[in-house]
Structure 1
Amino acid sequence: MAHSAAPATAATPALTPLSLKEIAPWALFFGVLMLVLLYFVGAEQGALSVISGESVHEWVHDGRHLLGFPCH
């Protein structure tokens, strides 16, 4: 009743380092995305407003205070 065979284990794939060419487009994409998000949280009101009205301001109001941006 004793089992003499060892349990089969899956081979782990070797990790290859990522090159800068592979990372650069994603880093640029997320960098631009973060800048757009920072704009809407920090500056989307008043003279710099891209979208008219108060809707964007109301959506990001609490986040603006949390990040330390004054708004009123």
Structure 2
Amino acid sequence: MSQAVAVPTPIPVRIPIREILPYAIFAGVLFLVVMYFVGSEQGAVQLFSGTLLHEFVHDGRHLLGFPCH
């Protein structure tokens, strides 16, 4: 014989924007810093001398479409 089983309905979780906003701002700033180092270091603007940073992010530059040669 078959038995009826009650399926619980999911309750949506509310996440206040005030809790997410500091993490979103931090992630955005971190993203911009990383994009600077990948995109323009050893290019027109250079903060660090030498080619170590350029070689470290070289494949990432090509993956993201930045010209470097």
With the shorter chain as reference, the TM-score category is: 0.7 to 0.9
Q: Give me the identity figure in percent.
A: 59
Partner of 1:7: none
Structure 1 runs, 4 residues or longer, greater than 3 Å off: none
Q: Which runs of 5+ in 1 are unaligned?
A: 1-13
TM-score by length of 1: 0.74
Who wins on radius of gyration, i.e. which is larger? 1
Partner of 2:15: 18
TM-score by length of 2: 0.77
Give the distance between the partners of 1:60 and 1:67, measured in 2 at CA: 11
> Does residue 57 in structure 1 map to residue 54 in structure 2?
yes
Partner of 1:29: 26
Q: Which runs of 5+ in 2 are unaligned?
A: 1-10
Measured on the aligned residues, the alpha-carbon RMSD in Å equals 1.4
